Amino acid sequence: MKSPTQFFFIQKHILLKLLIFILFICSNNRSNICCNHHFANPSSLSLKQLKLEGYLSFEKLNHAAKDFGNRCHFLPLAILYPKSVLDISSTLKHVFEIGTRIDLTVAARGNGHSLEGQAQAYQGLVINMKSLQELEMKFNINEELSYIDVSAGELWINVLHESLKLGLAPKSWTDYLHLTVGGTLSNAGISGQAFKHGPQINNVYQLEVVTGKGEVITCSEEQNADLFHGVLGGLGQFGIITKARIALETAPKQVKWIRVLYSDFATFSNDQEDLISSQSTFDYIEGFVIINSTGLLNNWRSTFNPKDPLQASNFSSEGRVLFCLEVAKYFNPEDTYSTDQDIDILLSKLSYIRSTLFLSEVSYVEFLDRVHVSEMKLQEKGLWDVPHPWLNLLIPKSSILEFAQEVFGKILTDTSNGPILIYPVNKSKWRKGTSMVTPDEDVFYLIALLSSAMPFSTGKDGLEHIIDQNNRVVSFCEKTRIGMKQYLPNHKTQEEWKHHFGPHWGAFARRKSTYDPLAILAPGQRIFRRTADCEHE
């Protein structure tokens, strides 16, 4: 039998271990759980205090804890369905006034296309930005400047359809249009038009933003420029975009859509770089990598027609690493002949495999909304709502050959898990001073590994295998110091974020302390910890 002294010592030892464990959990929880403060509860978000036009919901929260990445699932305390910008402003003012007494964070959620829980807020408040779609789109059309004022919660596909009624369209797109305006502007919005017009953050004239203090601020290049530049590509850290003024141009009606193949990467990349630097070129330039794919050209025939069917039928892609150049030329039906001539001239300057020329003609809407067609097919098969461990990288031109030699065919042994996009853009077309971080060269490549993981699989199509491949790619880039930057970045620690922003970190941190000093906004990015954190941290 143990003596009272021994018993007391054992109990004290157990309590000490328990205390250490609790402190460990507090300091390491990725959802910013704080040991000296309390999470909010429904009473913290009093409906009487807020006087909302919309409403707060404390039920049916599961969808706000899920995104396209389908890997992170953090339940919020509540969801705000705002009917006006005032709803968002008054709610953020209320949270700001609560101060550090309660650990309450706020995330803006558009169409939920984030990959790693960036639009989630554990035990916080998620704002459903699509509730603002009811705001009417307003057009300004004249010879000097045409634009549309649109709610940040509106989908780009809806902006396209409304603009086309007036024969207009935004200049720059993402490949997938079922995303919100505010969501893409908080990142960059890159697609095959970026080499010509810059990303979407280049093609916005004015923003309305609600800061972390609840202030509603209109900003542009001329007015509140610091906030304007900070919010563009700012990952939601300085304010919630509620309205945007988007540049418009005359819209074409038809698109000549072309694919050709290369077996040599240097030749492929040289042709891409020549096309994006030429005065006379295509309107859209992208590319993708195909590794060990069987029957590739036959798969294209449902959408594309081969220029030479006989030669195309004799081409074999099996066991090869190939590179597809995908280009498009916009036109109107009355200009078909001259457009075809222009295309022939452009193609004659390229060094692709001649038997692999495939062409298609579609409407402008069909071309821009092409990914949605694939989405519908995958949804029918139950293959859309699976984990998507995507990896998006920006690689400087000087390192692209080294990257390709190591990654394509060595680290990545096939492309059956999803597309691998690759195309260059011109930095000269990008707006200076935004929060978007790019490599330190005039030309850099977007590399997008768009994998889908099969649930419960332990093979090459399983989540663990794909994540391991992604980690090997990132590790190679870091070890060789090729100047890579992540697009749609995902980092776990502030030190990693500091490395990501490099010399721009000071400006980024200053803007955070100016516009969101309590670190209320966008906790899912894991860049800044809520000010209510434990004193010892």
Q: Any idea which residues carry the catalytic annotation?
A: 113, 175, 286
Query: What is d(CA 143, CA 120) in angstroms, rounded to the nearest whole number?
Result: 42
Structure tokens, 215: 């202030």
Helix, strand, or coil (residue 422): strand
Q: Which residue has the tokens 């402008």?
A: 364
Cβ neighbourhood burial of 270 (10 Å; 0-12, 13-18, 19+): middle
Indicate the helix (H) or strand (E) that contains 358.
strand 358-363
Over the range 370-389, which residues count as b (16 or more CB within 10 Å of their CB) and which as e?
beeeeeeeeeeeeebebbbb
Query: What is d(CA 514, CA 347) in angstroms, rounded to the nearest whole number?
Result: 51
Name the pairing type of β-strands 284-291 and 321-331. Answer: antiparallel
- DSSP state string for 271-330: HHHHHHH-SS--SEEEEEEEES-SSHHHHHTTT-EESSHHHHHT---TT-EEEEEEEEEE
Structure tokens, 396: 């400087």
Structure tokens, 8: 């007391």
Query: What is d(CA 429, CA 195) in angstroms, rounded to the nearest whole number?
Result: 7
Helix, strand, or coil (residue 169): strand
- DSSP state string for 203-263: SEEEEEEEETT--EEEEESSSSHHHHHHHTTSTTSSEEEEEEEEEEEEPPSEEEEEEEEES
Residues present in the chain in total: 537
Q: What are phi and psi of 146, to 5 degrees?
A: -115, 135
Query: What is d(CA 207, CA 195) in angstroms, rounded to the nearest whole number?
Result: 23
Structure tokens, 530: 């809520």
Nearest CA-CA partner of 404 in 458, 340, 482? 482
Query: What is d(CA 243, CA 236) in angstroms, rounded to the nearest whole number?
Result: 14
Q: What are phi and psi of 406, to 5 degrees?
A: -85, -40
CB 135 within 8 A of CB 54: no
Q: What are phi and psi of 123, to 5 degrees?
A: 55, 25
Helix, strand, or coil (residue 485): strand
CB 96 within 8 A of CB 82: no
